[in-house]
Amino acid sequence: MTNNIYLVANWKMYGGPSNLKSLNKVINLRKLKKYRKANIIYFPPFTLISNLVSKFKKTNISVGGQNCHYQENYGSFTGSISPKMLKDLGCKYVILGHSENRILGDTDEIINKKIQSALNKKLKIIFCIGETLSEKKSKLTFSVLKRQINKGLKRIKNFQKIIIAYEPVWSIGTGIIPKNKELETNVGKIRNIFSKKTKKKMLILYGGSVNSKNISILKNISGIDGFLIGSASQNSKKFIDIIKKTIN
């Protein structure tokens, strides 16, 4: 682990008003000196963004949207949310390229347009990349990561506004995590791809079945800057456990 630690909570399509009270415990933990170095970002469903933004108002905990449309401002896109709308709600971040949205039709080209628009609206991006199980078995991991990065970030220059989340698709929601060696190798490959694009050291997170048990193994991986946590972040007690074990 590096020192600038990110702990990112992706609530996916879970959560309602009853989930808000327990966030006080996360706020209180974050106030303790030891945990102040943790960059905590919550990605609730759109319906709870306003609630979380006001709850975290005087804290250093940020809020983001789980996806957005590529249209920057407004448009006739029923059911969609634009970067402007997220920004107006108080979001600082947006997750783009998540595999659960790639399978619903988000191509590299669409993701690229979304990233461009979100950056134009001064949102920071959590850009998810990762190979499927069959791609891994066919030894295509490197070429998939390279394609996702090159196409997803085509013409993008402000790399300092982008955080990479390496999420092997076969690890998301399955309880299976990569071996440390495999993870270090793949993160190294991602860094290599970026070394040809920017002098800046990219922030790279790992995501996929992170929980309060395997975090003790995962935190030993060199070169990663934190974790994107799905299921285990939806319960404040489990999320706090992860924060405490990551930062000690």
Q: Which residues bind ligand PEP (CB under 6 A)?
A: 10, 12, 167, 172-173, 207-210, 228-232
In this complex, which beta carbon is closest to ligand PEP, that of residue 82 or of residue 212?
212
**14/60 Cα distance (integer angstroms):** 23
Catalytic hit among 72, 100, 131, 167: 167
Question: Catalytic: 167?
Answer: yes
**106/160 Cα distance (integer angstroms):** 23
Helix (H, G, I), strand (E, B) or coil at 167: coil
Four-residue CA torsion sign, 211, 212, 216, 221: positive
Sequence-distant (6+) residues with CB within 8 A of 237 are: 22, 25
Q: Fill in the DSSP letter of residue 60.
A: S
Q: Are strands 124-129 and 93-96 parallel, antiparallel or unpaired?
A: parallel
In this complex, which beta carbon is closest to ligand PEP, that of residue 193 or of residue 205?
205
Beta carbon of residue 239, minimum distance to ligand PEP (angstroms, whole number): 11
Question: Catalytic: 69?
Answer: no
In this complex, which beta carbon is closest to ligand PEP, that of residue 141 or of residue 209?
209
Catalytic hit among 69, 72, 98, 135: 98
Beta carbon of residue 16, minimum distance to ligand PEP (angstroms, whole number): 18
**Residue-wise burial string across 103-140, b where 16 or more C-beta atoms lie within 10 A, e elsewhere:** eeebebebbbbbbbbbbebebbbbbbbbbbeebbeeee
Beta carbon of residue 207, minimum distance to ligand PEP (angstroms, whole number): 4
Beta carbon of residue 244, minimum distance to ligand PEP (angstroms, whole number): 18
In this complex, which beta carbon is closest to ligand PEP, that of residue 44 or of residue 208?
208
**Residue-wise burial string across 162-199, b where 16 or more C-beta atoms lie within 10 A, e elsewhere:** bbbbbbbbbbbeeeebbeeeebbebbeebeebbeeeee
Which runs of E-coded beta strand occur in 57-153?
A: 62-65, 93-96, 124-129
Helix (H, G, I), strand (E, B) or coil at 40: strand
In this complex, which beta carbon is closest to ligand PEP, that of residue 19 or of residue 198?
19
- Token code pair at residue 54: 């006001």
Provide the annotated active-site residues.
98, 167
